[in-house]
């Protein structure tokens, strides 16, 4: 059975997320991605403390966001996140949509790589611990 490597998270933007144009400031979208990414990793018992304990850091090395429509105060948003690559890097794809209409407001992806906390060296193949935690271990 294929593991579920996705999640959906509802966000209700707070007043302090707004910019002077009274829409969600573009930088806060990154925070919303991070919240969804953390939900998936917690679901697989590989949140930040477990990563550290396993000896790896996972810095974001690439991020792309496509802004389709602004998010307004109190506009409920569904953030869908899914892990789509895990062999040589960890890729998350995201879709942000209006909770009421389903209309897309943003599309994004992030890429993270494993870095040994002991040596500071980047790993060119994701460590086995990630595969085991995600349930995609080929062995």
Query: What are 77-101's pLDDT values in tens digits?
Result: 999 999 999 999 999 999 999 999 9
User: Which DSSP string do the residues of 26-39 spell out, in sequence order?
Assistant: TTHHHHHHHHHHHH
Q: What is the pTM of this model?
A: 0.94
Query: What are 103-138's pLDDT values in tens digits?
Result: 999 999 999 999 999 999 999 999 999 999 999 987
Question: Which ranges of the chain would DSSP assign to H, the alpha helix?
Answer: 28-43, 48-54, 128-134
CB atoms within 10 A of CB 23: 16
Tell me: pLDDT of 1 over 80. Answer: no
Distances (CA, A) of 80 to 29, 113, 128: 13, 21, 26
Confidence of residue 2 (pLDDT cuts 50, 70, 90): confident
User: Going by C-beta distance under 8 Å and a sequence separation of 6 or more, which residues neighbour residue 4?
Assistant: 43
Task: Say what the pLDDT of residue 139 is.
Answer: 66
Distances (CA, A) of 113 to 49, 84, 117, 124, 133: 16, 14, 12, 8, 16
Task: Say what the pLDDT of residue 99 is.
Answer: 98
Please give the Cα distance from 30 to 38 (Å, whole number).
12
Query: What are 12-68's pLDDT values in tens digits?
Result: 999 999 999 999 999 999 999 999 999 999 999 999 999 999 999 999 999 999 999
- Map out the domains of the chain with their CATH numbers: 6-134 (3.10.129.10)
């Amino acid at each position: 059975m294929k593991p579920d490597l996705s999640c959906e998270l509802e966000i209700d933007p707070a007043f302090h997320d707004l910019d002077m144009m009274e829409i969600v400031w573009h930088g806060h979208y990154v925070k919303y991605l991070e919240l969804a990414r953390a939900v998936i990793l917690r679901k697989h018992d590989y949140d930040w403390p477990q990563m550290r304990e396993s000896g790896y850091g996972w810095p974001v090395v690439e991020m792309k966001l496509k802004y389709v429509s602004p998010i307004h105060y109190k506009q409920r948003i569904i953030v869908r996140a899914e892990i789509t690559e895990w062999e040589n890097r960890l890729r998350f794809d995201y879709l942000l949509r209006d909770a009421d209409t389903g209309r897309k407001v943003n599309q994004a992806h992030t890429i993270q790589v494993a870095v040994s906390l002991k040596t500071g060296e980047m790993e060119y193949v994701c460590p086995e611990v990630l595969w085991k935690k995600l349930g995609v271990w080929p062995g």
